[in-house]
Structure formats: structure tokens, C-alpha cells
Amino acid sequence: MTRTILTTAALVLSAGLASPALSAQAFVWDGNATPPPQMIDLATAQKAVDAAEASAIAITGDPNGRVAIAVLDANGDVVVVRRMDTAIPRAVTSAMGHARAALLFGVSAIDLYDAMNAGESITAFPTKLPMGNWEISIEPGGIPIVKDGVTIGAIGVGGIPSLDDEKVAQDAVDALGF
């Protein structure tokens, strides 16, 4: 009974606190229309992943790079995931969690991580993601992808030390030239 009351209260509160502006960000594709321009397309996501892979190889000195790279669209859905051959088993989950954190808060995961460790607040621009049981990793390695002032997706990298994950993700975003 208590669980039902708490769940109902949480749903009522979240529905009442949801901003119409945030709700408008969600997009349901009916299969007939072209996805909206704020979504990252496959070619752009592939370009980011290719740049991230090259950066990982350069940073690690390992031709296999040892990372997993995930690019999500503005809805938090996976566009591309690449796991390099020598990546640790949890690298994909880590990369996706980094990208989700960057997308959800609208800032680099390193900014979130530094603020969290310092006990400081941070100005963030939250994105409403679809409901689901998604891991969010608040540590360096995730960066939102912003084009013309609009977040079109996020990239996350996992598998090597966090600051190197962040560098690889930043190199990928920089390669997009937005």
C-alpha cells in the first residue's frame, strides 16, 4: 500500500513538474516523415565514432584502442556503438552511461563530475529522456553534441582512464566541426 501511494505521488509530482518546453523535445517518428533536424544522423554519428577511434588509438598507443564508443540521438536512443577489440567487458555500458549523463544534463560529464566531487552546484540544461532503466555515469567521458545551439545527441567513451575517455569524446566532437 505504501509503495502504491509513493509511486502515485511520484508520478503526480513528476507530471506536475514537467515543463511543456522539455516535453516538446521528445519526438515520435511515424516512419513517414523525415526525422527532425535536431537529431543526429547516422553519417554524422559514424564520423564522430571514427574520429573517437583514431583518438583512442593515438592516446593508448594500442592499434585496438581499448575503448567502446556510443553515440546517442537527442531522444537518448542509440545511433552507433562501437566496441574495439581490446576494450574491457564493461566499456560499452560505461560509454552509454557517459553519453546519457551528458545528454540528460546538457553539459560535459567532466563538468558534472568535478562539481559533484567539489560539492558544488552546476548550471545544466536538462533534456527529457524517455523512461527506462538506463545507467547514467557521472564521470569524465561524455559530451553533448550541439549543432546551431541545439543538442542533437551525445557521445560517450569508456574503457580507458576517465580523463582519456573525455579527451577521446572531445576529439570526436571537435572533428564534427559544429
The pLDDT tens digits for 32-74 are 666 555 689 999 999 999 999 999 999 999 998 899 999 999 9
Length of the chain: 178
Q: How confident is the model at residue 141 (pLDDT cuts 50, 70, 90)?
A: very high
CA-closest candidate to residue 125, choices 104, 108, 142:
104
The residues near 4 (Cβ < 8 Å, ≥ 6 apart) are none
The full DSSP string for 38-64 is TSPPHHHHHHHHHHHHHHHHHHH--TT
CA-closest candidate to residue 77, choices 51, 30, 39, 107:
39
Q: Which CATH superfamily is domain 29-176 in?
A: Haem-degrading domain (3.30.450.150)
Confidence check: pLDDT of 132 > 90: no
In the predicted model, what is the mean pLDDT of the chain? 81
In this predicted structure, what is the pLDDT of residue 10?
35
Q: How confident is the model at residue 9 (pLDDT cuts 50, 70, 90)?
A: very low
CA distance 98 to 120: 20
Confidence check: pLDDT of 155 > 70: yes
pTM score of the predicted model: 0.76
Grid-cell match 581490446, residue found: 86
In this predicted structure, what is the pLDDT of residue 83?
96
Q: How confident is the model at residue 30 (pLDDT cuts 50, 70, 90)?
A: low
